Amino acid sequence: MRVAIVGGTGPFGTALARRLAGGAHPVVIGSRDAGRAASAAAEVGADGATNADAVAGADLVVLATKAEAALPTARDLRAAIGETPVLCVASELRFASAGVLPSEDAASLAERVQAELDGPVLAGLHSLAAATLSAEAPDEDAFVCGDDAEAKALALELAALLVAGRALDAGPLASARALEGLTAVIVNLNKRYRGHAGIRVTGLP
């Protein structure tokens, strides 16, 4: 499985590439700037390219841009991505004096990305942090949701490489609303308890 990480020069994209580089799945870091992509890729032992070139020939595209860039990036890359499955990992959050809040939009960011693309969109990895991915596999579970079974299988295969726990199928793409909101909960926990919270699910076989 060839993995393209769009927005791969950001903290999460770079951490993801570092975890995957040198493994069984070729990884290419994408950026709007080819030089930045090449520099980031050299640090982690991956390939680097512009976003459009990165997604060419990929089996799975990870959309790892900041939340505010996810939709315009998806629009720009629609033709280049084509029918390739896309895993959206961003969460649209609101920052208030009371704490971090989920988006007020009725549709998740991943659902809105799906409206911009021709191929299937998955959502996942929202409970994982760049800081924990950069070290050993965190003792956490990873969650992926989506409507296309074959695309979801690819995303779950990727997720399983990242954690010491399990890669869990969290249901249809509509579940992305809950997964993205979970990011707000984790950020609030980390701020309050000065830690690096993760999620493990109990009671499953």
Give tens-digit pLDDT for 17-68: 999 988 889 999 999 999 999 999 999 999 999 999 999 999 999 999 999 9
The pTM of this model reads 0.97
pLDDT of residue 22: 81
How many domains is the chain partitioned into structurally? 1
Q: Is residue 169 part of a domain?
A: yes
pLDDT at 132 over 90: no
Domain extent for 7: 3-193
Q: Is residue 200 part of a domain?
A: no
Q: Is residue 201 part of a domain?
A: no
Q: Is residue 170 part of a domain?
A: yes
pLDDT at 147 over 80: yes
User: 3: pLDDT confidence band, cut at 50, 70 and 90?
Assistant: very high
* Average pLDDT value for residue range 90-99: 94
Q: How many helices (H) and strands (E) does the chain have?
A: 8, 10
SS3 for 39? Answer: helix
Q: Is residue 204 part of a domain?
A: no
Q: Which residue has the tokens 């009725």?
A: 106
The torsion angles phi and psi of 124, rounded to 5 degrees, stand at 175, 175
Which residues fall within 8 angstroms of residue 77, CB to CB, at 6 or more apart? 6, 51, 52, 55
Q: Is residue 198 part of a domain?
A: no
The two beta strands, 3-6 and 93-96, are: unpaired
What is the Cα–Cα distance from 89 to 194, expressed in whole angstroms? Answer: 23
pLDDT tens column, 63-85: 999 999 999 999 999 999 999 99
Q: Is residue 38 part of a domain?
A: yes
Neighbours of 85 (CB within 10 A): 23
CATH number, domain at 89?
A: 3.40.50.720
Tokens at 203, concatenated: 């009671």
Q: Is residue 199 part of a domain?
A: no
Which residues fall within 8 angstroms of residue 66, CB to CB, at 6 or more apart? 7, 10, 90
Mean pLDDT of the chain: 96
